[in-house]
């Protein structure tokens, strides 16, 4: 089959019994009936269509492995693992449909879901799943990304570069999208003009380097005017030395500490209204020493545990 559902792997990792009952790592927090959950989208089709370097299909497995040994925080929350939606070959649309339906079903049982991509084509499925679960809600999108991903679908269909144009096409009047960390050199004037025409909120990487709080007003305002928040993180928003193992490494990028601050603000302001997040574009084949997976795992831990 072109699209398959696979069960969650067994989570294993380091144990430190000599340090007592508080020596807990995340692999011990995986529980099937937990309020939080993760699901993987193992897919290379979107990145391949977008002419990027493939390998994102292996991202979910690498992210799980990096998460497993992270120390649990005080008052840690358990989380479920719902397995993977796996896409073979070019069956992108079928994979996105399967992921959207799986997300919608999962949000009936879990208060927050974190999707482990996959390329940024994951976002179109993520948003559709959230919309299926909450058909009448006003949904705000916060995208931490070097790229606007507002390309129009071409002859081959959607790709990792088109998800937010596709989302807007679903409901132009309700489209509320903020892109934080975009690089001018990585986005054509056609994309920037489209963003302005569509009322997209924009915060440049340069602005965040000069002022780590540059996105805070925009993030807070978007959260205040929406019923639900969808947070999507393209790991290539970070500098190439922090995230070398991505589909399109950033020559400049935004500091990790700034991205962590933005996530913390989103969690603080949105609370339970942050129903869905995803982390995308991890490409383990190009990830020297696993540093990108480790970095992405830090961000995923924060979203799962807060």
pLDDT at 1: 67
DSSP 8-class letter at 177: E
Structure tokens at 23: 């020596």
Structure tokens at 206: 């340069």
Residues 6+ apart with CB under 8 A from 95: 2, 3, 41, 43, 45, 85, 86, 87, 125
pLDDT at 297: 98
Residues of the chain with pLDDT under 70: 1
230, 142 contact by CB (below 8 A): yes
pLDDT at 127: 98
Q: CA 154, CA 265: separation in Å to the nearest integer?
A: 36
pTM to 2 decimal places: 0.97
Alpha carbon of residue 301 to chain centroid? 12
pLDDT at 73: 95
Q: CA 145, CA 191: separation in Å to the nearest integer?
A: 14
Structure tokens at 113: 């879901």
Strands in 201-204's sheet, in edge-to-edge order, are 3-6, 79-87, 36-42, 112-117, 274-280, 228-234, 139-144, 177-182, 201-204
pLDDT at 118: 95
Alpha carbon separation from 161 to 108, 184, 200, 251 (Å, rounded): 29, 15, 16, 19
pLDDT at 112: 98
Q: Where are the domains of the chain?
A: 3-305
Q: CA 77, CA 150: separation in Å to the nearest integer?
A: 35
Alpha carbon separation from 9 to 26, 61, 71, 74 (Å, rounded): 14, 9, 20, 26
Instruction: Determine whether domain 3-305 maps to CATH 1.25.40.10.
Output: no
pLDDT digits (tens, 9 = 90+) for 191-243: 999 999 999 999 999 999 999 999 999 999 999 999 999 999 999 999 999 99
């Amino acid at each position: 089959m072109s699209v398959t559902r696979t069960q969650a792997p067994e989570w294993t990792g380091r144990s430190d019994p000599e340090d007592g009952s508080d020596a807990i790592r995340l692999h011990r927090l995986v529980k099937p009936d937990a309020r939080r959950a993760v699901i993987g989208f193992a897919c290379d089709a979107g990145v391949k269509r977008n002419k990027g370097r493939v390998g994102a299909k292996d991202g979910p497995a690498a992210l799980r492995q990096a998460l497993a040994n992270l120390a649990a925080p005080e008052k840690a929350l358990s989380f479920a693992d719902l397995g993977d939606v796996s896409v073979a070959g070019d069956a992108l649309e079928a994979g996105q449909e399967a992921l959207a339906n799986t997300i919608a079903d999962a949000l009936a049982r879990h208060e927050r879901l974190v999707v482990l991509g996959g390329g940024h084509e994951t976002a179109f499925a993520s948003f559709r799943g959230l919309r299926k679960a909450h058909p009448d809600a006003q949904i705000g999108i916060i995208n931490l990304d070097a790229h606007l991903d507002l390309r129009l679908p071409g002859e081959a269909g959607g790709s990792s570069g088109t998800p937010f144009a596709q989302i807007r096409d679903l409901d132009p009047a309700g489209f509320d999208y903020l892109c934080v960390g975009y690089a001018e050199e990585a986005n054509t004037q056609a994309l920037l003009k489209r963003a302005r025409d569509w009322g997209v909120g924009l915060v440049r990487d340069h602005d965040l380097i000069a002022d780590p709080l540059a996105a805070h007003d925009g993030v807070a305002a978007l959260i205040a005017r929406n019923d639900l928040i969808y947070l999507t993180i393209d790991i290539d928003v970070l500098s190439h030395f922090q995230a070398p193992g991505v589909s399109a490494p950033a020559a400049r990028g935004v500091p990790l500490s700034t991205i962590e601050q933005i996530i913390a603000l989103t969690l603080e302001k949105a609370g339970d209204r942050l129903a869905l997040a995803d982390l995308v574009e991890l490409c383990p084949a190009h990830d020297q020493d696993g540093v990108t997976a480790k970095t992405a795992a830090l961000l995923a831990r924060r979203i799962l545990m807060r």
